[in-house]
Amino acid sequence: MKTASLRTAYGETLVELGKKDDSIVVLEADLCKSTMGVLFEKEHPDNFFEMGIAEANMAAVGAGLALTGKTPFIASFAAFVPGRCYDQIRTSICIPSLNVKVCGSSAGLSDFGDGSTHQSIDDLALMRVLPNMQVFSPCDAVQTRQIVEYMAQNEGPMYIRINRNDLPVITEESEAFVPGKVYTMREGGDVAIFATGVTVAIALQAAEELAKQGIEAKVLNVPSLKPIDEAAVLAACAGTKAFITAEEHSIYGGLGDAIAAIAAPKLTRKHVRMGMQDTFGTSAENYAVLMEHYGFVPETLVKAALDALN
């Protein structure tokens, strides 16, 4: 299966948008070569601002630029943005609902070598709780490009979470991004698996294995954690015996809580959560080793489905 870099898709999309819209500006906090904001710097140097290791100041400057009519994209590792500038995002961006776009790059465990200080297991929770903030988690490079385009073309505070590593391309170019939409990636009537980001591809692999055992799993891609189409979530669960949520994030405050808040009051279904089980990450030699250590593999979802159905 073809793979592609979400970070490169982010940077290249900003470059193209910058050619059409001079209001787009990019702010970085000493990590533009990693976030790929460096691509925008090379093409649009006058609209690029290197803020240094000063994430809180970067967020405040972004708010100021938005007040002048600019469309600022502020970016760093997701552990630092929103981590180090949460107060500024809350107070200076979300309370006045300014048109600032926030990018948390190298999200989840994907910065495998630097350990827990550089891994974000809480960014979705931090961003979901803020009024006025929209929260997106693309599953591949295609969806990253679509979401960045949406962010640039629409008003208001928005957050995008981007994986550091190349991921399988599973989104069709013709499938437009719609905020709130829940995308059915595979049909199935026994169990529903809601996934976001890197876990979507994992869920599809798990569904293949479950099919070999006579269990049909419906796989749902949820790139938009806020807003989210509540009717679509309930419809996806209808007829199934259980539902699973899978996210490279803490089991608290992210996709699992978003789906449970919708489904639990109206449906009697067993809910199993795949995610970081109230623990921080650690460093590893490579991403695959780390993902296996924390259970982000198809086998985990297969076992979760079997347990939920028994």
Which residues have a catalytic role annotated? 55
β partners of residue 26: 48, 73
Q: What is the DSSP letter of 47?
A: G
Cα 95 from Cα 61, distance rounded (Å): 15
Range list of H helices, the chain: 6-20, 32-35, 38-43, 55-67, 86-88, 123-128, 141-153, 199-212, 230-237, 255-263, 287-293, 298-309
- Please say whether the beta carbons of 108 and 198 come within 8 A: yes
